[in-house]
Amino acid sequence: MAGPILEVQDLRLSVPGEQGRVEILKGVDLSLNRGEVLGVAGESGCGKSTLIKAILGISPRRSRIDTGRILLDGQDLLTPEGAKLRRSFGFIPQDPWLAMNPLFRIGTQMMEILRWNGLPGEEPRPIRWRDRARYRAHLVSLLKAVHLPDPEGALDRYPHQFSGGQRQRILIAAALASRPRVLLADEPTTALDVTTQLEILKLLQDLAEEFDTSMLFVTHDFGVISQLCDRVTVMLAGQVVETGETRQIIDAPREAYTAKLIDAHPDRGGFCFFEGAQA
Amino acid sequence: MILFLIRRLLLVIPVLLGLLLLTFVMIRMVPTDPAAALAGENATAAQIAAIRTDLGLDRPVVLQFLSYLGQVLQGDFGVSLYSNRAIGADILQRLPATLELTFVALIFAAVGGIAIGTAAAVWHNSWFDHLIRLVTVAGLAMASFWLAIMLQFVFSMDLGWLPLRGRLPTGMTPPMAITGLYTVDSILTLNGTTLWASLRHLALPGATLAFGGLATVARFTRSSLLETLQNDYITYERAVGFPRWRIVLPYALRNSLVSPLNQIGLLFGGFISGAVVVEAIFDWPGLGSYLVGAILTADFNATLAVTLVVGVIYALVNIAVDLVQGLIDPRIGKDL
Amino acid sequence: MLVLKKLLRDIPAVLGLVIILTVALLAIFAWQIAPHPEQIYGTNILRRLRPPSADHWMGTDALGRDIFSRVILGARSALIIALGVVGLSMLIGVPLGLYAGYSRGFGSSAVMRLADLFLAVPQLILALAVAQLLSRGLESAMIALSLTYWPFFTRTAYSETLRIRSSLFVEALEGLGASPLRIVALHILPNIAAPLIVRATIGMGFMILTAATLGFLGIGATPPSPEWGLMVAESRQYLPQSWWYAAFPGFAILLTVLGFNLLGDGLRDLVDPKLRRSR
């Protein structure tokens, strides 16, 4: 059980540019330990979203991974065999308003996710008619776990019938559907108002503990990091500049850039961001 | 929804009335004097005058229009100079042939266009995509009479796979006339021979008629799907592990169907126009060839009657298209 | 000009432009370019129905005339007809559209209802009906075609005028006491010229096609005119042996209309990028 569950080793990714290729990720190293929540912090454009996309295997078509490895439990995801392991991931996207297909019911979309990722502990396979009830019950339990009101009815409704916070809960439920070993969250609270943010963060905390999932949490907001993350990796311009325990980094950031990010949070004055901040 | 229908029908009435007025005026503009023509070469002035009174041509114009209106509403379009039968009856008899051809062309254009457009979008920038883009652009520049002749040349004369003309092989009796559409009637009367034969005869004219429409639908499907695939929810679906084909079918495709469906609705009018040429070339006994015949024999009444009927059909189809659009896209449909 | 440079980067549009210019050159210098000008009208039974050869690139027709030379001269009549019809349609349609867009009330709706009326029947059918009523011949066909196409220009002019009319500078001009005629002619017209040109270009393509169809049906052009549609009609009885007789004139139509369509699409993308469909 030793070793990080997810590891990125010297990842370099480039895209075509006006004159030759432009490197977006310049040798990124990152490790996520079992059961921990790792924050990936940085300003816009530092490459954190690109990193998540590379891990998920959804980099834009014209980008190319030049070197590096992405290891899940020691297996390289960048190989054809390793690519199949990606169903161990759960993904929580940034914008709940845009992430769901507006023309299909919640239940249909979540069922499709189960189709390709499998029920917890099972291999993914086509959903037979007689199994539908079982799958559906599982989806209902997930929606209950994220405290969505009327989970049964929700499955038959369309995305536009829910609020932003509710949609984010649904997306979290979807991310947990196959009991993933690693959750990848790409700034899931950025598009929400502050009160909803707090609720969602609390929810994520509880769920991470309950389901014993390791989580990679991308954000630029150090307030969120202080509440949720055990460790944090700081990125700037495609490289990692600092890594360490959250408390240590916040108390004594080594880089001026990190200090700037921390200071950018409006609550910086008092410094104890919210109740429940990691000690 | 009923309110919408009523409103649209009411809007259409002035247009149709205008059309009636237009055709009435055009009939009056005919250079020859119908009374003299009817009377023959050796008629005396008195005989011509008598015929004129008979035909009501000496009454005030407004009354003439009103009686014309009355006649049209009863389906009386006068008598064809050529066939000597009531034009109304001629039109009614020939209408199903044109409708069958148009429906088949619509199906070709819709199914073919969506399929090809989807494939081109999925294989964006491949050789197939470029080929499709070339063919669709060229397809809209192609004269349909030329396409018809070329298709006849290749598939009928050269390869001999498909028949050259007509709705059925010469000598074959058509199925019992329930709708007038040979395919439907064949199915309804369980007549396999006529079904197969009529399908074979529909192939070339249907394809010719459909070609331009297919090109348009393919273009719109392609660009709509390409646009849809840029959306964030598509990225999300990829991130959570949907395979590429599954993302397109059914998900992205359903999101992309509004604009192609819109085009399909608009195709109908163009097909009625196109049917004129296609019917003439394939000897298809529908309204189109009737119109061509009327023009070549200077049968003004027939020409204008067909124009009127086509105008009505066109208007009704446009209303239906608006209705369907409203049903698909609730934002438009809030007027319903 | 910047606009021209932008257009030149659009390859299909450039292709269209090249095609149109080539056709125009052929049309203008037809008698000089045609390899056998004496065979455009001059017949010779001995030469009839010869397949394509070095001497007759497109073969000869039923009366022994060189098809290539006839196709070249056919370009002249195609362009003249199309220009004439589009020109006449614009002459009728644009002023009506300007009037409808600028004035309000009864006159405006009357014009638009009239346009709707002419659009109530598909173009070809209306053109056939009108052409039949007028005397046989090319001029009648051209008048008939113009009567079916003017509503398109009216609609374009109307919506564009409406759009401009609501802008402040028109109100200012009215406030200054400028006469409506002056405003329309000097200020509105130049601003709506671009969409009108796009419509005209597309209209050219459409007209060549429709005029050829009329020629094919025996309305409009009459023998021995080297009109493309007419040539295809004449060729029918000699199929399948003399395929070249039908193929080449039809191909000329295809190429010319293609040119106008490509250019029209390119111009439309320039004028209204919002309408730009992904290429």
What was the pLDDT predicted at A271?
43
What was the pLDDT predicted at B268?
84
For each of the domains in chain C, give its residue range(s) and CATH number, in order of start.
12-29+59-278 (1.10.3720.10)
What was the pLDDT predicted at A277?
45
Of residues C132 and C93, more confidently modeled: C93
Q: Which two tokens stand for residue B308?
A: 């009127």
Query: Is the Cβ pair B238, A58 closer than 8 Å?
Result: yes
A185 pLDDT band, cuts 50/70/90, is very high
From chain C, the residues in CB contact with B273 under 8 A are: 122-125
Instruction: Report the helix count and the strand count for chain A, using DSSP H and E.
Output: 10, 10
Please classify residue B42 by burial: count the beta carbons closer than 10 Å to its beta carbon, then call 0-12 exposed, 13-18 middle and 19+ buried: exposed
From chain B, the residues in CB contact with C127 under 8 A are: none
Q: Which two tokens stand for residue B300?
A: 């003004």
State whether residue A21 is helix, strand or coil: strand
Q: What is the pLDDT of residues B190-200, one digit of tens each?
A: 888 888 888 99
**Average pLDDT estimate for A148-163:** 92
Q: What is the pLDDT of residues C129-138, one digit of tens each?
A: 888 777 777 8
What was the pLDDT predicted at A215?
92
For each of the domains in chain A, give its residue range(s) and CATH number, in order of start.
4-97+181-270 (3.40.50.300)
What was the pLDDT predicted at C102?
83
Query: Is the Cβ pair B153, C239 closer than 8 Å?
Result: yes
Report percent pLDDT > 70 for chain C: 96
Q: Under an 8 Å CB criterion, which residues of B touch A?
A: 231-233, 235-243, 246, 251, 254-255
Lowest mean pLDDT among A96-105, B293-302, C252-261: B293-302
For each of the domains in chain B, give its residue range(s) and CATH number, in order of start.
2-73 (no CATH), 96-333 (1.10.3720.10)
DSSP state of C37: G
d(CA B259, CA C187): 35
Write down how long chain B is: 336
| pLDDT surpassing 70 at residue C231 | yes
A11 pLDDT band, cuts 50/70/90, is very high
| pLDDT surpassing 90 at residue C153 | yes
Residues of chain B with confidence (pLDDT) below 50: 335-336
Query: Is the Cβ pair B233, A56 closer than 8 Å?
Result: no
Please classify residue A98 by burial: count the beta carbons closer than 10 Å to its beta carbon, then call 0-12 exposed, 13-18 middle and 19+ buried: middle
C144: nearest Cα among C214, C206, C95: C214
Q: What is the pLDDT of residues B195-225, one digit of tens each?
A: 888 899 999 999 999 999 999 999 999 999 9
A270 pLDDT band, cuts 50/70/90, is very low
**Average pLDDT estimate for A33-57:** 89
CA–CA min distance B239, chain C (Å): 24
- Residue C102 φ then ψ, to 5°: -85, -50
From chain A, the residues in CB contact with B231 under 8 A are: 98
**Average pLDDT estimate for A230-243:** 90
Q: What is the pLDDT of residues B105-149, one digit of tens each?
A: 999 999 999 999 999 999 988 899 989 988 988 888 998 899 999
Put simply, whether B161 touches C (Cβ < 8 Å) is: no
Q: What is the mean pLDDT of chain A?
A: 86
Q: Which amino acid is at B155?
A: F
**What is A77-143 written as a DSSP string?**
TTSHHHHGGGGGEEEE-S-TTTSS-TTS-HHHHHHHHHHHH-STTS------GGGHHHHHHHHHHHH
**Predicted model pTM:** 0.82
Q: What is the mean pLDDT of chain C?
A: 85
What was the pLDDT predicted at A272?
44
B276: nearest Cα among B161, B143, B77: B143
Nearest CB to A103: which of B236, B242, B254? Answer: B254
Which range scores top for mean pLDDT: C76-80, C100-104, C124-128, C164-168? C76-80
Q: Evaluate whether ipTM surpasses 0.90.
A: no
C191 pLDDT band, cuts 50/70/90, is confident
**Average pLDDT estimate for A215-238:** 89
